[in-house]
Amino acid sequence: MVSKKTPLSIPVPSAGEVRSAKGSVDLSSDRVRVTLKTGESIEVLLYGATVTSWKVDGEEKLWVSEAAKLDGTKPVRGGIPLVFPCFGPNSSALNLPQHGFARLSNWSFLGENSEEPSSVQVDFGLSPSNIPDELKGKWDQNFGLIYSVILGQKTLQTKLVVQNEGEEKWEFQVLFHTYFKVSNAEKVSIKGLKDVTYTDKVLGGTTASEDNESVTITGETDRVYAKVPTDRETVIEQDGKAVFSVKRKNLEDVVVWNPHAAGAEKIGDFEPKEGWKEMVCVEAGSVGEWTTIEGGSVWEGGQIITLA
């Protein structure tokens, strides 16, 4: 959905901790930590605006590689990296790195903008001036991004506002590359994708229709499910019991990825190599096609993850 509204402008705060009736927001030089009064917490790096931790009842819900770089030297392997303005092999067509530049850029923290009584929202901004110097000029569209991360007692919501601040239309793709932490990937079932056509990147880009009620991890898995009805939730089950559900807004595609043993061995920053057993990526996005945004228009999309 594209509209002509203007994103909210929020003053950039200084470092420190802000406490409220809901919890606290702590800004340091490189990350933001949010903790609710009820104990739930998130951590978001300013580099890439990458969510690197989501804890509920003291338990981590996101998987992050032990070899992940958290110092801004490369994209984070794990958590929720943000893919924009292009996905996968489309990146090379635009002369950009894999999955674009959003996860490679230092975002500005725009502050807390909480409206719901039981949640805390923190906002981050990205403009052309934030893109790494070596990438400036390779994608010369005039844009503005506002990325919101909203922590609730049993929910985590991420949403992105994209504004075309120029006069000419352009195209983009977007994806929330969520690494869910599980106890055994081979006993995970992913529901909500039956009868959806997918592209199997492991099998060279062949397409097929999902005939099964559940998608399971039996080997290296890399599929892009296209045009999944947005009123259909994606449910992740462990040992037959629902663990996470994902609702999507204005995002019609779902990527399912797990490198399994052979794939993990080929990824330098994937540690431990047996870590594939403890994660599964179920990624809400708009990547099967390009989204066109007219000059002066705004697009918004997002996901809501709920603990079952």
Q: What is the pLDDT of residues 17-58, one digit of tens each?
A: 666 668 899 999 999 999 999 999 999 999 999 999 999 999
Q: Is-contact 300 250, C-beta < 8 A? A: yes
Rounded to 5 degrees, φ, ψ at 109 are -80, 125
Please check if 31 is assigned to a binding site: no
Amino acid at 180: F
Tell me, yes or no, if 177 is annotated catalytic.
yes
Rg (CA), the chain: 19
pLDDT, tens digit (0-9, with 9 covering 90-100), for 52-70: 999 999 999 999 999 999 9
Report how far Cα 292 is from the mean position of its chain's Cα atoms. 20
Q: Is the pLDDT of residue 94 over 80?
A: no
Q: Which fold has domain 14-307?
A: Beta-galactosidase; Chain A, domain 5 (2.70.98)
Mean pLDDT value of segment 98-106: 95
| 302 has a pLDDT exceeding 70 | yes
- Token pair of 137, please? 């000029």
Q: Residue 188 and residue 63: Cα distance in Å, rounded? A: 15
Catalytic residue among 40, 237, 252, 283: 283
All residues at 6 or more sequence positions from 121 whose CB lies less than 8 Å from its CB, including other chains:
112, 113, 114, 115, 148, 149, 150, 151
DSSP state of 130: G
Burial class of residue 213 (count of CB atoms within 10 Å of its CB; 0-12, 13-18, 19+): exposed
- Residue 93 pLDDT > 70: no
**CB-based contact 36:22 (threshold 8 Å):** yes
Does residue 9 register a pLDDT over 60?
no
- Choose the catalytic residue: 40, 43, 112, 177: 177
Mean predicted confidence (pLDDT) in 257-274? 98
11 pLDDT band, cuts 50/70/90, is very low
Q: How far apart are CA 146 and CA 131, in angstroms?
A: 14
Do 252 and 303 touch, CB atoms closer than 8 A? Answer: no
List the alpha helices (DSSP H) in the chain. Answer: 90-93, 260-265
Query: Taking 80 as the threshold, does the pLDDT of residue 13 lie above it?
Result: no
Q: So what's the pLDDT on residue 19?
A: 65
- pLDDT at res. 208: 98
* 10 pLDDT higher than 50: no
d(CA 119, CA 136) in angstroms, rounded, equals: 36
pTM higher than 0.75 = yes
For residue 79, pLDDT over 60 is answered with yes
**Pick the residue with more confidence: 7 or 115?**
115
- SS3 (DSSP) at 69: coil
Query: Looking at residue 97, what DSSP letter applies?
Result: -
What residue spans define the domains of the chain? 14-307
Is 98 labelled a binding residue? yes
Amino acid of residue 214: S
- Annotated ligand binding at 141? The verdict is no
Our answer to whether residue 283 is catalytic in this structure is yes
Segment 95-100 shows an average pLDDT of 89
User: Any idea which of 1-10, 63-72, 187-196, 270-279 has the lowest mean pLDDT?
Assistant: 1-10
The rounded distance, in Å, linking the Cα atoms of 62 and 271 is 15
CA atoms within 13 A of residue 200's CA, in its CB half-sphere: 12
Mean per-residue pLDDT, 271-290: 97
How far lies 157's CA from each of 131, 160, 232, in Å?
25, 10, 17
Dump pLDDT digits (tens) for 159-189.
999 999 999 999 999 999 999 999 999 999 9
Cα–Cα distances (Å) from 173 to 46, 76, 92, 274, 301, in that order, read: 21, 19, 14, 31, 11
227-253 average pLDDT score: 97
